[in-house]
Amino acid sequence: MSQRVVIDTNVIISGLRSRKGASFRILEMIGSAQFEITLSVPLALEYEEVAKRESEELGLTLADVDVLMEYWCGIAHLQDIHFLWRPVLRDIEDDHVLELAVEAGCALIVTHNVRDFAGSETFGITAIRPGEFLRRMGVES
């Protein structure tokens, strides 16, 4: 079984914004055997809300975002959250991402905002940037 990871919204949006770089490479790999994305209802709704809000800038229609969300929700490990530990992180808006990683047994959160996840180590979770995630998997960005 491939490792489960939580991908922060900023990586999703960055990958949709540009076809270059590690974030886009990660988006291309979603659904592959190399890793499994983990989603909760709050994180899926956040992906959808931000992608729809920025859809014009991203060159997507609202229907395109719906198709992406349907695909991601269809292939992701969907995790219910039963315990809330808020607040833990510096930015309380990120606590739901950490809660998801803990509940799903993920060792990694892939994010551009590593500093925002200071304290995740207490739960055995490492926040890493997209490029580092790809390097750990032996993949070029």
If you average pLDDT over residues 44-51, what whole number do you get?
98
Q: What would the DSSP string read from start to end of 68-126?
A: HHHHHHHHSEE--------S-SSSGGGHHHHHHHHHHT-SEEE-S-GGGGTTGGGGT-E
pTM: 0.93
Q: Please tell me the total number of residues recorded for the chain in this structure.
A: 141
pLDDT in tens, 10-38: 999 999 999 999 999 999 999 999 999 99
pLDDT exceeds 70 at position 126? yes
pLDDT of amino acid 89: 77
Number of domains observed in the structure of the chain: 1
pLDDT exceeds 70 at position 114? yes
CA distances to 4, 60, 76, 91, 127 from 107, rounded to whole Å, are 8, 32, 16, 20, 9
Residue 91 sits in a domain of what CATH number?
3.40.50.1010
Using alpha carbons, select from 67, 80, 94 the residue that is nearest to residue 11.
Answer: 94
Q: Which domain holds residue 54?
A: 3-137
